[in-house]
Amino acid sequence: MSETSVADRLYGAGAPALELDGVTRHFGALAALSGVTMRISAGERRAILGSNGAGKTTLFNAVTGEFPLTAGRIRFFGEDISELPTQERIRRGLRRTYQISQLFGRLTVLDSVFLACRGVSGRRFSLRRPDARDVSMMQARSIITAVHLDDESDRLVSTLSHGQQRQLEIALALAGAPRFILFDEPAAGLSPSERRDLVAILSALPKHIGYIIIEHDLDVALRVADYVSIMHNGRLFKEGTPEQIENDPEVQDIYLGHKHH
């Protein structure tokens, strides 16, 4: 008999990474999300564009469980996770980064990533000082390489540049064995060269790790995504391949119009 995971046996192999069905979230009278339905295949990389207040971060909070849904369902690799607490979603391989940094300034880069790796490995209560061959330590070093922070391993987080801190946030999301990552505006405030670095880091992630990236810069979004969704007023407004989106007259009006003024 072939080896299949419990999820595969229950829900069938090849289930999409993420399925949103009519996802709705109200804040009082405000419909921050209204009936958002989308399906993201395993390993797919999706960009979400949209003006401030469109509901992008609320969508992330709904997927992670930080905000309960007003209506709708969410499935993660075939399993309905709509009612699961955030920690259980993390255990199933869901990760996110935040629009506002959540880093600890007084740790070094290596300690930060090491603690994240050890935290998700379930050995967080060990007081032993790790040696270089510790599994979490080896994972931490390889993640630090993946986010181009090798030369900064021993620096205090508070002394990193803004761009390096954003790279470290990606490193923390890679701790454990993520299957899907939600990146909330990782390019915000980055210089052109830091943006190129970010594109290289995201492009080189292992192919089985899918993600959604919220991104304002159309150039970055089109380069790191297989498919693009545009949100407006809590709804999906348009979806397409990077080519379709780039050549869409309405999108050109909204995005490229602003850019060349």
Which residues of this chain interact with ligand ADP, rule CB under 6 A?
Answer: 27, 30, 32, 50, 52-58
Our CB check for ligand ADP shows the closer of 58 and 139 to be: 58
Our CB check for Mg ion shows the closer of 57 and 167 to be: 57
Shortest distance, position 211 Cβ to ligand ADP, whole Å: 16
Shortest distance, position 27 Cβ to ligand ADP, whole Å: 4
Shortest distance, position 98 Cβ to Mg ion, whole Å: 10
Shortest distance, position 32 Cβ to ligand ADP, whole Å: 3
Asked if 211 and 202 touch (Cβ cutoff 8 Å), the reply is yes
Separation between Cα atoms, residue 145 and residue 167, nearest integer Å: 11
Shortest distance, position 214 Cβ to ligand ADP, whole Å: 7
Q: Could you tell me which of 188, 219, 179, 201 has the C-alpha nearest to residue 57?
A: 188
Task: Pick one of Mg ion, ligand ADP, none as the site partner of residue 50 (Cβ within 5 to 8 A by kind).
Answer: ligand ADP
Asked if 94 and 64 touch (Cβ cutoff 8 Å), the reply is yes
Site string for Mg ion, 27-56 (x = CB under 5 A): -----------------------------x
Alpha-carbon distances, residue 261 vs 25, 50, 189, 213, 256 (angstroms): 35, 19, 20, 26, 9
Our CB check for Mg ion shows the closer of 25 and 118 to be: 25
**Helix 162-173 with 192-203: angle, nearest 10 deg:** 10
What is the phi/psi pair of residue 50, to 5°?
155, 150
Our CB check for ligand ADP shows the closer of 32 and 36 to be: 32
Strands (E), the chain: 18-27, 30-40, 45-49, 71-76, 79-80, 94-96, 180-184, 210-214, 227-232, 235-240
Which of 57, 97, 165, 167 contacts Mg ion by CB under 5 A?
Answer: 57
Residues in contact with Mg ion by CB under 5 A are 56-57
